[in-house]
Structure 1
Amino acid sequence: MRDTIGPDLRDALIRTAHALADAARPETLRHFRTGLSAENKRLGGGFDPVTEADRAAERAMRAVLARERPEDGILGEEYGSTAGASGLTWVLDPIDGTRGYISGTPTWGVLVAVADAGGPLFGIIDQPYIGERFEGGFGRARLDGPQGRAALRTGGPRPLAEATVLTTFPEIGTEAERAAFRRVAEGARLVRYGMDCYAYALLAAGQVDLVIEAGLQPYDVGAPIAVVTAAGGLATGWDGAPAHGGGRMLAAANAAVHAEAMALLAG
């Protein structure tokens, strides 16, 4: 599919992606830091929150797609899959980082990606409260925010001993996955937690060197993969394979630190 996308379709997909992020912004901001209640989607233990803000934002995005791109498929966190006929699928996470959202931290984001069978083609990581939008794909890699527009470019090679690593949960994945993560973390200069999708945005902006996560869903990774790779980084599974199906993600600023981290993750 990607080999047949001409300039007109490319521009239409970029416009639609921005329209989706624009539609989600007010729905997320309407409820942010208001004491909004959250339901627990995880039965049988643990806490996986969902709020009316998540659902309202996804409904707003789906309304845009029904109007602008009805032939495309949709994969959204809150309302599941809708089949399409075009070979393109919109991968939507209306609030990535709902735990952060209900805690009041501005590290959550709206994730929008358009993908074909080979993975993401273009993606947006939008942080409505700060007013930052990171986009990548189709030859673009840029940030629009309070300080204006800037190019996105991941950082250059440096050893893990000088690197900054981000993840969302210190209790990442299974016990084996936690042990693998600790091998990387113990060799890094700095490790920070609780970033959700904003970690990938910071990686694309050249602020950090690695993002390592596990237990991810396809809607968690579509936009981050597009943005990070457009900025010059790598975003793969822990084994170096494509990661757009979810699971374990190793996103890196460059091939050198990616290889060093991947070797430690493999044990």
Structure 2
Amino acid sequence: MTDLRRLLEIAEGAVAVAADLVESREPGALHSKGDRDMASDTDIAVERAVREHLAKVTPEIAFLGEEEGARPGEGQLSWVLDPIDGTVNYVHGVPLWGISLGLVDGDRQVAGVLDFPMLGTRYLAADGLGATRNAETIQASKTTELSEAMVMAGDFAVGEDAAEKNRARFALIELLVPRVQRIRMLGTGALHLALVADGSLDAAVMFSNKPWDTSAGAVIAREAGAVVLDLDGSPHDVASSATIALAPGIADELLPLIQQAAGG
């Protein structure tokens, strides 16, 4: 049986290694990953440091990093890392970026740590253990009125087929502007999910699901009581096509609007 409490402690230690490294250096050279997408030297250095750290303490667990791919493991468990979620923010000096480390069992996210060094906040959660921010228990928003809801929209797509992908994002904004209190876009999916988890936001909508961006945040939001779904309304997992985290009180009203925007 997997000891999630122990593995969560290991994950927090690995993220602490990452945070110390990020804070000790400048971004360095930038490496293009396609149209207006990039990784910094620090992204790569952090991923290598965390990969090495986890290989020593959990050699039986596979590892997937955003920048340099996967290392096979012996079992079904996998660590999933985004060394800096919000790299564009990071290289521009905007303090909205963080380190995301999730633990996935098959397709299900079972534990996660999110650390936002410039905000001084660290979020942890694991299946059945609840969710915390800086060691204090957190809970998703109790909002029941869509007109009082603050909704986070995922970042606009860039690169191949960006215009087509962004149709749903524009449609969502058009549908929600007259219905919700405000729409925001922070440039980091991990932070969107963390803020839904602690009740600061009422919903986060991403028409994508990159596991390094969402694996930690999904379990943290879920353990805090948010409804975390795929676009079709099924429970969110690694194979989902979208990432939607909602305060329970507005889920039934908001999900159909999201599906409408997506053309569903």
Q: Normalising by the residue count of structure 1, what TM-score does the alignment of the two structures yield?
A: 0.87
| Other structure's SS at 1:114 match | strand
Specify the alignment match of 2:208 in structure 1. Answer: 215
The 5 A counterparts of 1:156-235 are: 156-169=142-155, 174-182=165-173, 183-196=175-188, 197-235=190-228
Partners of 1:163 and 1:188 within 8 A in 2: yes
- Report SS of the residue matched to 2:238: coil
Residue 130 of structure 2 corresponds to which residue in structure 1? 140
- Farther off after superposition, 200-209 or 169-178: 169-178
Give the letter for the 1:252 counterpart. Answer: L
CA displacement 1:159-210 (0-9 Å, x = unmatched): 2111001134356961431244222344211111124121211111111101
3-state SS, counterpart of residue 220 of structure 1: helix
* Residue 95 (structure 1) aligned with residue 84 (structure 2): yes
The reply to whether residue 64 of structure 1 matches residue 53 of structure 2 is yes
Unaligned runs of 5+ in 2: none
Q: In structure 1, which of residues 6, 15, 21 is the aligned counterpart of residue 9 of structure 2?
A: 15
Superposition deviation, residue 236 in structure 1:
1.5
Q: Distance in 2 between matches of 1:200 and 1:20?
A: 20
Contact kept in structure 2, 1:180 and 1:266, CA below 8 Å: no
- Output the amino acid matched with 2:254: A
Q: Is the 8 A contact 1:54 1:95 kept in 2?
A: yes
CA offsets, 1:24-50, max 9 Å, x none?
00221123xx464422211xxx21110
Whole-angstrom distance in 2 between the partners of 1:239 and 1:222? 19
Whole-angstrom CA distance in 2 between matches of 1:49 and 1:59 = 17
Offset at 1:219? Answer: 1.1
Find the aligned partners of 2:40 and 2:57 in 1 and give their Cα distance.
Answer: 26
C-alpha distance in 2 between matches for 1:91 and 1:35: 22
Q: Structure 1 residues 10 and 165, CA, compared in 2 at 3 Å: closer, same or farther? A: same
Letter of the 2:20 counterpart: P
Structure 1, unpaired ranges of 5+ = none
> Secondary structure in 1 aligned to 2:67?
coil
Indicate the SS of the match to 2:100.
Answer: strand
Which of 253, 257, 262 in structure 2 is aligned with 1:264? 257
Contact 1:123 1:135 in 2 (8 A): yes
For the structure 1 residues 247 and 38, does the alpha-carbon distance in structure 2 shift closer, same or farther, using more than 3 Å as the test?
farther
Which of residues 249, 252, 256 in structure 1 aligns to 2:246? 252
Q: Which moved more, 1:69-78 or 1:181-190?
A: 181-190
**What count of residue pairs does the alignment treat as equivalent?**
251
Alpha-carbon distance in 2 for matches of 1:137, 1:231: 10
- Residue 223 of structure 1 deviates from its aligned partner by 0.5
Q: 1:179 to 1:130 in 2, by over 3 A?
A: closer
- Indicate yes or no: 2:16 matched with 1:30: no
Q: Tell me, in whole angstroms, the C-alpha distance in 2 between the residues paired with 1:28 and 1:217.
A: 22
CA distance in 2 between counterparts of 1:54 and 1:186 reads 39
Moved over 3 A (4+): 34-37, 170-173
Please, what TM-score do these two structures have when normalized by structure 2? Answer: 0.88
